[in-house]
Amino acid sequence: MPLQISHLANFTPPASTRTWQSQPHPTLPLLATASSDKTVRIYSLTSFNLITTLSGGHKRSIRSVAWQPALRKGDAVLATGSFDASAGIWKKHYSGDAVESLNHGIVSTDENDNDEDDDDDDGEYAFTVLLDGHESEIKSLAFAPSSRLLATCSRDKSVWIWEELDDDNWETMAVLSEHDGDVKCVAWHPAEDLLASASYDDTIRLYKEDVDDWEQVAVIQGHKATVWCVTFEGADLPGLKATPSEELSQAQRDFLIQRAASGPRLLSASDDLSIRIWRREPPADDANAARNTGVPSIIRSSNIDETWLEEAQFPGTHTRAVYSASWSTTSGLVVSAGSDGMIVVYKEQWKSGAEEDVGTEWTVVASIEAAHGVFEVNHVVWAKRWDKGRRSEDEEVIVSTGDDGEVKVWTLEEAVGG
């Protein structure tokens, strides 16, 4: 293993009860953490200190959080999904000065705000909308990259898609009831309005809008137990690109062209202890031809269906359920964590061996046990590094969230002697 995972910091103060999930803001140095104490803590990724706590919006545990892709610089719009079956939208706008302060780790806490009450947009996050509709606990939510669509999923077996028609006006766009069990996780494709959901029924399902209706376009079977997590690869397919193309064989170059036609892949983590990667079959030429015949399709066109195939399984490192995995959009590395308390980092590499056997394989490049002591790790995610120790503009850290209430930051280091 050429790398090692080093503990950098804990966010302080932590929650005293189970924390479920943490999400870095897409552009600001903010981290939002969902907690079973019914609050969200927003921490600085620069100083690792608490900035503010969002409370009063939910009656039960907050299970998940998602930041809306910012429409303007300084926008901080957070969606919260709760066991109380509702989702909330919280808003704040950081002025140019406030963004500067955040970037330099100058945390203006709520108390400070009262002292220097000169900037009205340094106030608290406003709870602006309550999205009601699910019958039972919301497990996960995610904003589409286009930013105006929000997907939520629940133990009621359904996935809802909400559309923001204008500011704070959200409308139900679709209710998708394809799963036979709790829907544990939703994730959007980074470039298309394509949604994936993972479930207690052991399947992953994908949905797309066809004319005016959202339809299921694929079912992925293969996991042998609950699928806890799905997430897509970054839009520009990082990772293998790191190899200069002149060092690749013709077959490897062809392989990359084929892969680019498939687009970003899907990563899933499951209670069956496995982590898998799924690849979309590129649309066949005859399907393209059929689409261009000009015949109006009265019934639902079949050509929106997609076929997703299992491309890889990661080396089996985890000994208990894998709750979370995250795919770096910068480095292409994958990190996973779960009930066994381990954090594991994997890298994709070209298969060594025969010229005709072109392909890739995933290997473990770093791992750490007991990341949260004896506690389970519920979530792990890559985040841009913002603190003073940052070594390069695109350096990333790993943020892990555990049953002990702690949220921890980890760096990847070159192993000593490696």
Partner 1 sequence: MDPNKDNANPTILNPSDLPSRRKGDAISNREDGGTGLFDGLVPTYSYLSDPFDVPPSPTSSEEDSPEAIDEQEIYDLISTISDPEHPLSLGSLAVVNLPDIHITPPTSSRSLISTVTVEITPTITHCSLATVIGLGVRVRLEQALPPRFRVDVRIKKGTHSTDEAVNKQLGDKERVAAALENGTLMGVLRKMLATCE
Which residues contact partner 1 by CB under 8 A? 18, 36, 60-61, 63, 83, 136-137, 139, 155, 182, 184, 200, 225-226, 271, 319-321, 339-341, 369-370, 373-376, 403-404
Query: 253 vs 320, which CB is nearer to partner 1?
Result: 320
Query: 64 vs 68, which CB is nearer to partner 1?
Result: 64
The two tokens of residue 394 are 């695109």
Counting every residue written for the chain, the total comes to 418
Q: How far is the CB of 363 from partner 1 (least distance, A)?
A: 19
**Beta sheet of 138-143, edge-to-edge order:** 138-143, 149-154, 159-166, 169-176
DSSP states of 152-195: EEETTS-EEEEEEEETTEEEEEEEE---SS-EEEEEE-SSSSEE
Q: How far is the CB of 4 from partner 1 (least distance, A)?
A: 14
Can the peptide bond before residue 13 be classed as cis, meaning omega within 30 degrees of 0? yes
Q: How far is the CB of 66 from partner 1 (least distance, A)?
A: 17
Q: How far is the CB of 240 from partner 1 (least distance, A)?
A: 32
Query: 154 vs 360, which CB is nearer to partner 1?
Result: 154
Strand partners, 127: 90
The two tokens of residue 116 are 């220097």
Give every CB contact of residue 116 below 8 A, 6+ residues apart in sequence: 108
Rounded to 5 degrees, what are φ and ψ at 113?
A: -55, -40
- Rounded distance between C-alpha atoms, residue 189 and residue 180, angstroms: 23
Q: How far is the CB of 225 from partner 1 (least distance, A)?
A: 8
Query: 162 vs 200, which CB is nearer to partner 1?
Result: 200
Q: Give yes or no for a contact between 140 and 188, defined as CB atoms under 8 angstroms apart.
A: no
- Rounded distance between C-alpha atoms, residue 138 and residue 144, angstroms: 17
Query: 255 vs 375, which CB is nearer to partner 1?
Result: 375
Query: 172 vs 319, which CB is nearer to partner 1?
Result: 319
Q: How far is the CB of 175 from partner 1 (least distance, A)?
A: 21
Exposure string for 183-193, b = 16+ CB within 10 A, e = fewer: bbbbbbbbebb
Query: 262 vs 400, which CB is nearer to partner 1?
Result: 400
Query: 83 vs 94, which CB is nearer to partner 1?
Result: 83
Query: 387 vs 403, which CB is nearer to partner 1?
Result: 403
Strand partners, 93: 75
Q: How far is the CB of 102 from partner 1 (least distance, A)?
A: 32
Tell me the torsion sign for CA atoms 417, 359, 323, 191.
Answer: positive
Query: 328 vs 367, which CB is nearer to partner 1?
Result: 367
132-135-137-138 Cα dihedral, nearest 10 degrees: -50
Q: Kind and range of the H or E element at 380?
A: strand 377-384
To which residue do tokens 């695109």 refer? Answer: 394
Q: How far is the CB of 117 from partner 1 (least distance, A)?
A: 38
The 3-state DSSP class for residue 110 equals helix
Rounded to 5 degrees, what are φ and ψ at 252?
A: -70, -40
Q: How far is the CB of 317 from partner 1 (least distance, A)?
A: 11
Q: How far is the CB of 179 from partner 1 (least distance, A)?
A: 14
